[in-house]
Structures are given as structure tokens and as C-alpha cells.
Amino acid sequence: MKTYLSFLLILFSAFQIVYSQELDEALKKYLKNDIPIISVEELQANYKDYLILDARAIEEFKVSKLDQSVWVGYENFSAERLKQLSLEKNKKIVVYCSIGVRSEEIARTIKEDFAVETYNLYGGIFLWKNKGFTVVNKENKPTNKVHGYSRKWGSYLIQAEVVYE
């Protein structure tokens, strides 16, 4: 039994390493890297210091989100919606999406339009969940569900129940 559990642990660890490398490769391919990034660990450690903005589609946001995050969208992103949040000049902003590609674009716009300290969450909600951090549903209760965005991107979620509706 111990041997079996050890084998499973090694297999799971190897799978996480491969996943991590694949996600890193995808991010190297798609990110422009002109917006500072923040790691999921750093955000978790200093969560209260940031205003967290979700740059995914509303359907994704309704499945799950980072706790206390505010939906700003991507395709229908509006600077007017941000103005309603009355952004504090002293409050740093973190923008996230599934893996960090869409959020980088929104973070760029926020940084240019509002001149506030803005970061892109490296690996997005997928890496957040894969590292074992909590996400909440629309009732603000912890959930294991995360919207996969697409079958391709959804394959990067290994610590969540992936949904597409």
C-alpha cells in the first residue's frame, strides 16, 4: 500500500511539473510582458493590499472567481465601469483571467488610462486553483468548479472540476 501511494505521489508530481512547463510555454508564446506580473503565491500572501479585477467573460465569472474580485470583462471591457469603482490611487490592482493573456491586455489599458500600479496575475485563475488556493462561486461559497474557457486552455486545470457552461 505504501509503495502504491508513493507511486501515485511521484506520478502526480511529475504531472504537475509537465503541466507547469506547458503553461509556461503557452505564456511565453502569448504574453507581451509589458505589464508587471504577480505570482499567485505573492498575491495570496498580500491579498488585502490589492483590488482584484476579473477580465473573463461573465459566464466564466459566474462559475467561480477569486474571493472579493470585481468583474470588469474582456470583450465588453469599459473604462466607465472602472470609474464607477472609484479607484484608489494608493491601492494596487491585479487583473486576472484564465491563464493571464486577456488580463494582460486589460491591465495595460488600466495602467495607461488610470495611471495606477497594475499587475497581471501570472497563470491566472487556473494556476491559482492548481496551487490549491480557494475560489468562490456566485454565492461567495468555496467551489472546486472553474470555467475552462476552451478545451485547449481547460487542459491546464488539474486541481479543479472543469466546466464549459
Domain boundaries, the chain: 2-163
> pTM to 2 decimals?
0.86
Task: Tally Cβ neighbours within 10 Å of residue 21.
Answer: 10
Where the chain has pLDDT below 70, the residues are: 1-20, 86-90
In angstroms, what CA-CA distances link 152 with 22, 50, 129?
12, 30, 17
Per-residue pLDDT at 12: 45
Per-residue pLDDT at 145: 98
The architecture that CATH gives domain 2-163 is 3-Layer(aba) Sandwich (3.40)
Residue with cell 504537475: 16
Per-residue pLDDT at 23: 86
Per-residue pLDDT at 101: 97
